[in-house]
Amino acid sequence: MASQLTLSIVTPEREIVRAQVDEVELPGAEGYFGVLPGHTPMLATLTVGRLTYRAGQESQVLAIAFGFAEVLPDTVTVLAQMAERAEDIDLSRAETARQRAEARLAHPDSDLDYARARTALDKAILRVQVASRARAR
């Protein structure tokens, strides 16, 4: 049995992370789930959320949104539409995006695409959370 997982996170633009890790936690469409080495093969869809991975004592947080995760006993491949490391997020920009999204939802005009606005808000909130948590540490 493998003692570690090879985690690779790819977005359409590039590969964001490739690392040997001990544990991964993913935002599945049906709730967060954790993966340890030796997991049963699994394919899961992902939603907007935090991805946490731990290598030894070091743990890292990423904001990811939509995509799939392919889990094999010794590898986890995440295909995400968006993935950002906490340190790459511009906190002030995320904050303004959040306010904009909130304002749009608070005063809906007729041609507002509700689902899309909601997703934008979710993403913005997530970015703010992930980024501010990284700063706090």
Partner 1 sequence: MPSLIDIRRRVRAVKSTQQITKAMKMVAASKLRRAQERVVGARPYAQQMLRVLNSLAARVDPEAHPLLRESEGRPGAPPLLVVISADKGLCGSFNTNVTKQAALFVQDTPDRQVAMALVGRKGRDFFLRRRVDVRYEVVNLFQHVKLAHAQEIARTATEAFTEGRVGSVYLLYNEFKSAMSQKVVLERLLPIPRLSVENGGLIGPQVDYLYEPSAEEILTSVVPRHVEIQVYRALLESAAAEHAARMTAMDAATRNAQEMVDKLTLYMNKVRQAAITREIIEVVSGAQAL
Q: Which of 72, 91, 105, 134 binds partner 1 (CB under 8 A)?
A: 72
Contact between 56 and partner 1 by CB under 8 A: the answer reads: no
User: Is residue 83 a contact partner of residue 64, using CB atoms and an 8 Å limit?
Assistant: yes
In whole angstroms, the minimum distance from the beta carbon of 48 to partner 1 comes to 14
Contact between 75 and partner 1 by CB under 8 A: the answer reads: no
Where in 96-135 is the site for partner 1 (CB under 8 A)? none
- Closest-CA residue to 69 (of 16, 23, 123, 9): 9
In whole angstroms, the minimum distance from the beta carbon of 119 to partner 1 comes to 14
CA distance 31 to 34: 10
Q: Counting beta carbons within 10 angstroms of the beta carbon of residue 49, is it exposed (0 to 12), middle (13 to 18) or buried (19 or more)?
A: buried
Point out which span in 54-62, 65-73, 102-110, 121-129 binds partner 1 (CB under 8 A).
65-73
Contact between 14 and partner 1 by CB under 8 A: the answer reads: yes
Where in 24-43 is the site for partner 1 (CB under 8 A)? 28-30, 33, 40-43
- Closest-CA residue to 71 (of 17, 8, 126): 8
Please identify which residue in the block is written with the tokens 């997020």.
Answer: 89
User: Is residue 125 a contact partner of residue 48, using CB atoms and an 8 Å limit?
Assistant: no
Closer Cβ to partner 1, 25 or 91, answer by number: 25
Chain contacts with partner 1 (rule: CB under 8 A) = 8, 10-15, 28-30, 33, 40-45, 67-68, 70, 72, 77, 79, 81
